Chain A
Amino acid sequence: MGSVGHVTRRPLRLWENTKAAYPPAPVPVRPRLSARVSYLLQKVLRPNPVNRRLGALVERWPTARKLFTEAERTSKERLFGCRMCGQCALPVTGYSCPMGCPKELRNGPCGGVGPDGACEVYPEKRCVWVVAYERAASQGAAADLRRLQRPVDHRRWGESSWLNYWQGRDEGLWTGDDLVSPPL
């Protein structure tokens, strides 16, 4: 466990997240960044020649990669309650993290959402998918929620999702929004 005295950090492991209870049970987190700003940020973070180059550079040095991953973890944890699944769905879920759903549902809300939008497992919290729908709809992106999300690869927990995204390793995470039956 990461004790306070250590200056250097070891590679991130799920159980080293000192803020989370052990084991780190998923709990709905309300995004702290407004939908408008989140979608503006999407434009910056979308793969482009600049961040692709940056990503390639960062991946050349293990230390740089660790620092970069830590920066991603810290910022996304504060803003979105990120748990570092390594396969970020935020760009197509209204920047409301589905991994905060107690059932970790990646394809929309379960049937137990309360009439007021409460999570069935944590009634004092709002369902992450209700929040996702409201935020995406407010930015004209509700159709993104129609995309089919492929199953999570549990080997990738703790990886930097930004690096994966920029290097094109995340392209199969979700399908189009046309509701046509896609190959798995």
Chain B
Amino acid sequence: MSLRERLAAGEFTVTAELSPPRGASAAPVTARAELLCGWVDAVNITDNQGSHVRLSSWAGALAVRDAGLEPIMQMTCRDRNRIALQSDLLGAASLGLRNVLCMSGDHPKFGDHPGAKPVFDLDSTQLLWTLRTMRDEGTLMSGRELDPPPDIFLGAVENPFAPPEGFRAERAGKKIAAGAQFIQTQYVFDVPLFRRWVAGLGELGLLDRCSVLAGVGVIRSVRALDFMASGRVPGVQIPQDVQRRLRGAGEANVGAEGAKLAAEVIAAVRQIPGVAGVHLLTAGYEKHIPELLGMAGVGRPAGRPATVGKGRGGD
């Protein structure tokens, strides 16, 4: 079952994220994707995450598909203008990559090429709008016809925890109006606030139009906690009580407590009406994902095969 079908069927869905390597081989992506086979329904491939140059996301997406998993190609507005974005989308669709996650992207200031020209010709909402138009109207932004139009499934991101709190559900609503069919969120550490945000989407009547996947991460050390809570990771906020709990576990046990916390978050968001699944932001933690899902009571559901047929992942 493809990601699109799974979400349409209302099955609890698990996605994860992989960052391509800094190098001219996609083999590391394939290796890590193989660890996820059978445990997640689709894998995001980041687009030069944090403005650090990596192997391109379409190439990473192909490697994920070769490993037997369904890829979600991330596409940011940071490095490409509307001509390049539309062209790359056509290229990706021609390779059979169907799932596209649109985002604005981190500012180049935070990456390894801080002197780069920030493009941001479109914003994430406008990119979704453009891609939906390409698919549904069969035209480019310019109005010129596409033959054939791309068959794509569109995703967006949202951070329910960043100010202005009162606008975050509407902000997601704009992306849904523009074309988003699923939304993956920033790390959920504050479950009550997340629940309010989902309720806000419900009040706007948007939950029927879009599937929500809650972002879940595992804090594995005090150092990781310090870094994530430092404010240097754009958009990540960890409530004080969560920090106290992790620090209280003692230096040696933070990893175990972090995994327990993540499992609790998964179990909690699963109970929220309108939440379609979780998005695991656990790069480098692939080996432990089965254990984490087991702790959360998700496990390997029947009907989710250990390996998907080779080369069929993008369908």
Please give the residue numbers on chain A whose beta carbons come within 8 Å of chain B beta carbons, in ascending order: 102-117, 120-121, 127, 129-130, 133-134, 137, 142, 145-146, 148-152, 154, 179-184
Contact = CB atoms under 8 A, between A and B. Distances in A.
15 contacts: A103-B77, A107-B125, A107-B171, A108-B167, A111-B157, A111-B235, A117-B164, A121-B109, A133-B164, A145-B170, A146-B170, A146-B173, A152-B121, A179-B176, A182-B177
B221 interface: no
Contacts of B82: 151
B126 A151 contact: yes
A25 to B, nearest CB: 8
A113 B163 contact: yes
B314 interface: no
B122 A148 contact: no
Interface residues of B, number: 45
Contacts of A112: 106-107, 159, 162, 234-235
B209 to A, nearest CB: 9
Nearest to B109: A121
B123 A106 contact: yes
Interface of B: 77-78, 82, 104-107, 109, 118, 120-126, 129-130, 132-133, 137, 141, 157-159, 162-164, 166-167, 170-171, 173-174, 176-179, 186, 204, 206, 231, 234-235, 237
A133 B234 contact: no
A110 B166 CA distance: 14
A179 B231 CA distance: 32
A111 B174 contact: no
A111 B162 CA distance: 6
In terms of DSSP, what is the predominant structure of the interface of chain A?
loop
B173 to A, nearest CB: 5
A183 B133 CA distance: 7
Given A148-B177, A150-B126, A182-B177, A111 B159 contact: yes
B164 A109 contact: yes
Contacts of A105: 104, 120, 123-124
A52 B122 CA distance: 31
B176 A183 contact: no
Given A107-B125, A112-B162, A179 B104 contact: no
Contacts of B163: 109, 113-117, 127, 130
The 6 closest A-B pairs by CB, nearest first: A111-B159, A112-B234, A107-B125, A133-B164, A111-B235, A113-B162
B118 A184 contact: no
Nearest to A25: B118
Contacts of B235: 110-113, 120
Contacts of B237: 115
B174 A107 contact: yes
B171 A108 contact: yes
Contact of A181 (B107, B132, B186): B132
Contacts of B125: 106-108, 148-149
A130 B176 CA distance: 21
A102 B173 contact: no
Contacts of B104: 103, 105, 110
B130 A184 contact: yes
Contacts of B133: 183-184
Contact of A111 (B123, B164, B170, B186): B186
B262 to A, nearest CB: 20
Contacts of B122: 151
